[in-house]
Structure 1
Amino acid sequence: MFRGDDGSETSLTFAELFERAKAIAATLQRRIQPGDRVLLVYPAGLEFIAAFLGCVSAGVLPVPATYPKPRRPLPRLSTIAADCQAVFALTAAQTLTTLDLARSAPELRSVQWLATDTLDLACAADWQRPEVRPEDLAFLQYTSGSISDPKGVMVTHANLMRNLEMIYEGFSIPRICADPVEGTGVSWLPAYHDMGLIGGILEPFYVGGRSVLMSPAAFLQRPVRWLKAISDYRAVIGGAPNFAYELCVEKITPEQRSELDLGSWRLAFCGAEPIRPETLERFAETFAPCGFREDAFYPCYGLAESTLLAAGGKGPGRPVIRAFERAALAELRIAEANGHPAGEIHRVTGCGGPRLDQVVEIVDPETLLPVQPDRVGEIWIKGSAVARGYWNRAEENAVTFGGRLAGSNDGTYLRTGDLGFLRDGNLFVVARLKEVIVIRGRNHYPHDIELTVSRAHEALIPNAGATFSIDHENTERLVVVNEVDRQYRNGDLEQVVQRIRAAVAEEHELDVFAVVLIRPASLPRTTSGKVQRNLCRQQYLDGDLKVQAQWQAPSRGSNGSASGNGAARRRAPAERPRKAASSILPKIGPFDRPLREDEVERLAEQIETRLLDWLVERAGLRTSDFDRDKPFAEYGLDSLTAVELSHELEEWLDVEITPVVAWNYPTAASLAAYLAREVAGKVSPEDAGEETQQPPTAESEFEKLLAEIENLSDNDVEAALEREPRNP
């Protein structure tokens, strides 16, 4: 079942879905060869599922892909298509109309496109069952992260079936569901991500239960929709990355909580990014009055290279949280904290243990020997759920999927690149060997972001920057550090900061938390010239960088900060305490009569003024920095901020607004004009005393589709997640 943003329902039985899948399969069998790669480019909804099953039923390889934004370049989709040599792409009819491939991705014109929602279901009778062996590939799962170099994980039918059984056994589904077939799960996770595809869609097929799906944008705009669906459908299973639980605590009001009944929620899995003990504790405390039980949590660890689940408990239970000495962990030693000050302690959530035939070893990445019990090492995995490797990456496969313990003939292991240790039957993930940044469940590669930064302004020295994430208020936030050319050291560095934020938001859909511009030749490097990102991060936290200028986004209840070197402090971009949204955006209307055109114009000016106030507070800039005709993205506002803005506007103006309104009206002037027309159009004929014609609305079917795909990653969330302290 798919639940729309407005609460509408669209459902298909397994039989109906299979009939649609056979029609798609029969069409593909007539036009392409077994083993060919087929892109799946869909907004959130049930048509993606029919297309995925249709590809598998035709003996071709489905390749789930991120749904693109309108009128924007499609670099990731184009790169994936080229990497897997896709010959066909399946989508919906509206997508073909709106994507404008000839302009946004001319390199995709050689791919044959088919709108599956226009097929005649009668052709299902022509379907021929393909010959499929367990060792054959089932699909390609492209990892999130690098835009320039995405990797397609080759998942076989045997890998998939084994992992589905691992999830079934690990979740203890027979124990938490009196009748698994009657059990319900709720998921808003994007279908092109391994957690959304396998956990939210394929596992219910394996079990035979019901799955209620939502769009990532629906959750991001109003997190209560996720918990409301769990409450309404009496769902037993639901889960998400850590940031989603944090959003629920922050965004769901006491009034909304009073309407929730979470007593049926027996398993709340958490994974795909570092699992913060504070988040789990806050969520359990906040939603206990709604019937949520702390022993419903299921922290787990996984990655696409292991199909999905790699480690988890035997059923849900109270999270296992341990405190260790922070300094010891930095030296890859394990020392439990005992009476240490809070600043010297690092609390870690246990992720359970390996399931079924999965084996987890903790290995010294240099000696390739198992570490001693009191040491941290790289997490290595072996088992029948470990994928075959990356598509067309022989050399990389030999390293990542061909790990061998020194002096052992114990077979090959998957080297995860994550650091951790095993204790009391639990895997504790503490760090990353590789410097991948995980924000809102989505992986970002530092070198991609650093390249974007270096091109943002001529004052920035190329190949002289570092990006990393820090924990700020229980959330991973992005920090950018870059050297500044000497000739610009007395220039307008605030403009440089603004350009950096805008470029990163535009290219990577990330909201930069801090920008630090440092002296030439002061970035920490190795003797061979490689950037030491971890050391740079530590110097940032310790205040040891040689700062020319810096900017930091405002925290809750504080000002933004921007400072220069020494006594020459730069004025803070946000010069007022941050206000609550309700004080910045007081209610407008309702009106007891239709507004004249001049009144609509004045209303637009009023909305624009208040909108700019909101943006000043959110972006941490001065009012004078804003231009009413300048796109929001140029101020470094990412897609999650756009979704948050749409929610604030709905509450403020009492009109229904799509989550992507800020994409379609990307400036303060255009958005205010549109909103004024919407507000003015909310006068009913009864109130006006005459028949009134509603003004044309900008909401189109295309916007509805977009609302279904906006993610952390996509929405942002859209989004997820591949090889970091992950968990399915």
Structure 2
Amino acid sequence: MDYRPRFVAPTLVEAVRSLSGDEQRGFVFVRPDGQERFCSFAEIHREATRRGAHLAARGLAKGDRVALVIPDSDEFVLSFLGAIYAGVVPVPMYPQLSFKNVESYHDTVAHITRASGASLLLTTATTRPFVEPVKDKVETLGSIVSVSELEGPAPGSIDHVKISPTDHCFFQFTSGSTSRPKGVVVTHGNLAANSEAIMIHGLAKDSSVDKGVSWLPLFHDMGLIGFVIAPLFTDIPVVFLPTASFVRAPRLWLDAIHKHRGTITYAPNFAYALVAKRLKDKDVAGLDLSCVKIAGCGAEPIQAKTLRDFAEKVKPAKFDPRAFLPSYGMAEATLAITFVEHLTGAHSDTVDPKALQEGKASPASNGGQELVCCGHAFPDHEIAIVDEHGRRLGDREVGEIIARGPSITLGYYQEPELTAQSWKPYDGETWLHTGDLGYTVDGQVYICGRIKDIIIIRGRNYYPQDIEWAVSELPGIRRGNVVAFSVDVDGEEQLVICAEAFQSDAVGLIEQITSTVAGQIGLSVHKVEIVPQGSLPRTSSGKPQRRKTKQMFEAGTLPSARATRAGQSDQDAQDAQENV
């Protein structure tokens, strides 16, 4: 598709350079101790130019890859942009926050570094000990460098480096429920198209008043594209909070919105639930959230009850529920695929659970299953719902969501077989087959679950997210730390649920989980496993690896829950750093 953005620059480099004369507006980086560093758009341009020159002086040329393991948001953003200015392709990775499971972390970093072909790994002095062992694991990795080693005037010029919309901008490594991380190739053209779709068509941005506030980790697409790249394409200032600080004290998110008069913010469902659960009335007193015009929600299944609870909790702060903007997206589509209309709030569809199990989203008057509307496709983009034979389905028929348009990426880096599994021809063009199940009503999409994760018991389809959410609501269960799947027992599929909790609560929780699932889902539970906090396997972005959990269950390698509650806050911080 020959696509040229109408409202933004064609490349990220041109977008940042167009802001290089602005010394007054830019990004604010809040440190863990609360101190703030302001970088004007002009300074961002200068620093990106300087760092890019330093990378070039170390032998990196256009098209080479550099791995980034940088926990500090300011150092990450400036280094990321420096690489792009030099034509070098950055490969962001999540930084390790503790020595817990450090060997597994080394394996992940080594795999991504090797798979991307990165010849240099850029990190910080504090994070370097966590990545140093990777050097001996990756034969193509030439050196590990700290950002402090890039100090000093630019050692040369990179003005000769020309960037085009078809050039690779960065690799976004993502992993599914079973696989090791694979690198999504994101071009400058993809970013221009998706930034225009998000900020212009989706949010109707106003550069004279809008300001973003985000605590989302920058190694993940929602934080990086949603609050660094798209705002740079569209001239929007942003305030960045440390992810771990938000998790330890969720009110800091709202405090920053209040202080900086943020108009645009975004978070996964769990973050809104965390605020609703932890904040007291006294925490809301004195806050003014009337400035918020966009409170986006995405990256994981959205629960209508969570948004209602959040809105009720912050109602005294003059939060307008119409600011809610549920959305749907994935890294393979750059970021966003569908948005609801801004300033219309969250809307849901209540459907008959039994009909849904049979592939029909039939409306239910009461006692049904509530699904949140995730909106419609952007201009120049299209979505469709198809069955297993590729037949396009009509409204309220459940099938796989497929998408096409200029935001759809090229595929997985040097993974032709995996790419061919998801990027397939349809109606004469290449469409992204998302693997997600959903249906439409008048062009608005509703998400049901993942094809590979469906639980089929006695001929009926059950969506694990619904079971996991019901269990997560129980006291004593760590929200978002539940995995449901089925196993074969004497030739019949049976339900197994694994949940993180304390051993002292296990007996009572097993009974509660069994009765809750029977009452709300209508299923008998074959086995409930209570496991220690932080022990369920997750992807690099924090999503549950259901198939790996199932493999561990069947192999008998799931650990038993421990009784101690020590160290909970540190693990919570690590979980949330990886949970978007």
User: Normalization by structure 1: what TM-score?
Assistant: 0.62
SS for the counterpart of 1:420 is: strand
> Residue 304 of structure 2 corresponds to which residue in structure 1?
277
SS for the counterpart of 2:414 is: coil
Q: Give me the whole-angstrom Cα distance separating, in 1, the residues matched to 2:389 and 2:192.
A: 34
Q: Is the aligned partner of 1:355 residue 2:372?
A: no
Offset of 1:67 from its aligned partner?
Answer: 0.6
Cα deviation 1:436-479 (Å, max 9, x = unaligned): 99xxxxxxxxxxxxxxxxxxxxxxxxxxxxx965545667599x
Q: Is the aligned partner of 1:39 residue 2:61?
A: no
CA contact (8 A) 2:504 2:563 kept: no
> Residue 715 of structure 1 corresponds to which residue in structure 2?
574
Q: How does 1:5-154 map to 2 (within 5 A)?
A: 5-30=32-57, 31-71=59-99, 72-73=102-103, 74-96=106-128, 98-99=129-130, 101-102=132-133, 106-108=136-138, 110-123=141-154, 126-145=157-176, 149-154=180-185
Structure with larger Rg: 1
Q: Which amino acid aligns with 1:77?
A: V
What is the percentage of aligned positions where both structures have the same residue? Answer: 31
Q: Give me the whole-angstrom Cα distance separating, in 2, the residues matched to 1:234 and 1:669.
A: 38
> Residue 237 of structure 1 corresponds to which residue in structure 2?
264
Offset of 1:52 from its aligned partner?
Answer: 0.7
CA contact (8 A) 2:502 2:563 kept: no
CA contact (8 A) 2:349 2:371 kept: yes
Q: Give me the whole-angstrom Cα distance separating, in 1, the residues matched to 2:308 and 2:469.
A: 14
Q: How does 1:627-638 map to 2 (within 5 A)?
A: 636-638=532-534
For residues 348 and 473 of structure 1, do their structure 2 counterparts lie closer, same or farther at Cα, with a shift above 3 Å needed? closer
For residues 472 and 669 of structure 1, do their structure 2 counterparts lie closer, same or farther at Cα, with a shift above 3 Å needed? closer
Q: Is the aligned partner of 1:432 residue 2:450?
A: yes
Q: Give me the whole-angstrom Cα distance separating, in 2, the residues matched to 1:246 and 1:166.
A: 28
**1:294 is matched with which residue: 302, 313, 321?**
321
CA contact (8 A) 1:551 1:560 kept: no
Cα deviation 1:513-538 (Å, max 9, x = unaligned): 7999x9xx72767xxxxxxxxx544x
Q: Give me the whole-angstrom Cα distance separating, in 2, the residues matched to 1:428 and 1:469.
A: 14
Q: Which amino acid aligns with 2:172?
A: Q
Q: Which amino acid aligns with 1:356?
A: P
> Residue 508 of structure 2 corresponds to which residue in structure 1?
560
For residues 261 and 142 of structure 1, do their structure 2 counterparts lie closer, same or farther at Cα, with a shift above 3 Å needed? same
Q: Give me the whole-angstrom Cα distance separating, in 1, the residues matched to 2:505 and 2:120.
A: 51
Offset of 1:718 from its aligned partner?
Answer: 1.9
Q: Give me the whole-angstrom Cα distance separating, in 1, the residues matched to 2:118 and 2:194.
A: 26
> Residue 423 of structure 2 corresponds to which residue in structure 1?
401
Q: Is the aligned partner of 1:261 residue 2:261?
A: no
Q: Give me the whole-angstrom Cα distance separating, in 1, the residues matched to 2:357 and 2:169.
A: 40
Cα deviation 1:634-691 (Å, max 9, x = unaligned): x712299xxxxxxxxxxxxxxxxxxxxxxxxx9979989xxxxxxxxxxxxxxxxxxx
Q: Which amino acid aligns with 1:636?
A: P
Q: Is the aligned partner of 1:390 residue 2:412?
A: yes
CA RMSD of aligned residues (A): 3.5
Q: Which amino acid aligns with 2:348?
A: I
CA contact (8 A) 2:132 2:144 kept: no
SS for the counterpart of 2:73 is: coil
Cα deviation 1:678-709 (Å, max 9, x = unaligned): xxxxxxxxxxxxxxxxxxxxxxxxxxxxx9xx
CA contact (8 A) 1:419 1:431 kept: yes
> Residue 523 of structure 2 corresponds to which residue in structure 1?
none
Q: Give me the whole-angstrom Cα distance separating, in 1, the residues matched to 2:204 and 2:439.
A: 27
**2:389 is matched with which residue: 349, 356, 367?**
367
Q: Which amino acid aligns with 1:431?
A: G
Q: How does 1:641-656 map to 2 (within 5 A)?
A: none
Q: Give me the whole-angstrom Cα distance separating, in 1, the residues matched to 2:532 and 2:396.
A: 44
For residues 193 and 372 of structure 1, do their structure 2 counterparts lie closer, same or farther at Cα, with a shift above 3 Å needed? same
CA contact (8 A) 2:371 2:446 kept: yes
Structure 2 residues without counterparts, runs of 5 or longer: 1-27, 456-462, 512-528, 537-561
For residues 257 and 283 of structure 1, do their structure 2 counterparts lie closer, same or farther at Cα, with a shift above 3 Å needed? same
Q: How does 1:686-697 map to 2 (within 5 A)?
A: none
Q: Give me the whole-angstrom Cα distance separating, in 1, the residues matched to 2:575 and 2:114.
A: 24
CA contact (8 A) 2:50 2:82 kept: yes
CA contact (8 A) 2:464 2:485 kept: no
Cα deviation 1:493-521 (Å, max 9, x = unaligned): xxxxxxxx9xxx9xxx98567999x9xx7
Q: Give me the whole-angstrom Cα distance separating, in 2, the residues matched to 1:288 and 1:558.
A: 36
Q: Which amino acid aligns with 2:380?
A: D
> Residue 414 of structure 1 corresponds to which residue in structure 2?
432
Q: Give me the whole-angstrom Cα distance separating, in 1, the residues matched to 2:175 and 2:564.
A: 32
Q: Give me the whole-angstrom Cα distance separating, in 2, the residues matched to 1:58 and 1:135.
A: 16
Range that drifts further, 422-431 or 190-199 = 422-431
Q: Give me the whole-angstrom Cα distance separating, in 2, the residues matched to 1:293 and 1:200.
A: 22
Q: Is the aligned partner of 1:376 residue 2:395?
A: no
> Residue 204 of structure 1 corresponds to which residue in structure 2?
231
Q: Give me the whole-angstrom Cα distance separating, in 1, the residues matched to 2:72 and 2:442.
A: 40
For residues 8 and 161 of structure 1, do their structure 2 counterparts lie closer, same or farther at Cα, with a shift above 3 Å needed? same
For residues 321 and 57 of structure 1, do their structure 2 counterparts lie closer, same or farther at Cα, with a shift above 3 Å needed? same
Range that drifts further, 113-122 or 85-94 = 113-122
Offset of 1:129 from its aligned partner?
Answer: 3.9
Offset of 1:333 from its aligned partner?
Answer: 0.9
Offset of 1:252 from its aligned partner?
Answer: 0.9
SS for the counterpart of 2:376 is: coil
Q: Which amino acid aligns with 2:247?
A: L
Number of equivalenced pairs: 496
Q: Give me the whole-angstrom Cα distance separating, in 2, the residues matched to 1:375 and 1:671.
A: 47
Q: Give me the whole-angstrom Cα distance separating, in 2, the residues matched to 1:237 and 1:303.
A: 20
CA contact (8 A) 1:169 1:314 kept: no
Q: How does 1:202-601 map to 2 (within 5 A)?
A: 202-338=229-365, 340=366, 342=367, 345-364=368-387, 366-404=388-426, 408-409=427-428, 411-435=429-453, 471=467, 511=481, 522=489, 535-537=493-495, 540=496, 553=501, 560-561=508-509
CA contact (8 A) 2:270 2:480 kept: no
CA contact (8 A) 1:185 1:212 kept: yes
Q: Which amino acid aligns with 1:362?
A: I
For residues 475 and 67 of structure 1, do their structure 2 counterparts lie closer, same or farther at Cα, with a shift above 3 Å needed? farther
Cα deviation 1:257-284 (Å, max 9, x = unaligned): 1132111011000000111111111111
Offset of 1:562 from its aligned partner?
Answer: 5.1
For residues 8 and 106 of structure 1, do their structure 2 counterparts lie closer, same or farther at Cα, with a shift above 3 Å needed? same
CA contact (8 A) 2:472 2:481 kept: no
Offset of 1:173 from its aligned partner?
Answer: 3.0
Q: Give me the whole-angstrom Cα distance separating, in 2, the residues matched to 1:296 and 1:720.
A: 23
CA contact (8 A) 2:396 2:441 kept: no
Q: Which amino acid aligns with 2:74?
A: L
Offset of 1:34 from its aligned partner?
Answer: 1.7
For residues 92 and 81 of structure 1, do their structure 2 counterparts lie closer, same or farther at Cα, with a shift above 3 Å needed? same
Offset of 1:555 from its aligned partner?
Answer: 13
SS for the counterpart of 1:123 is: coil
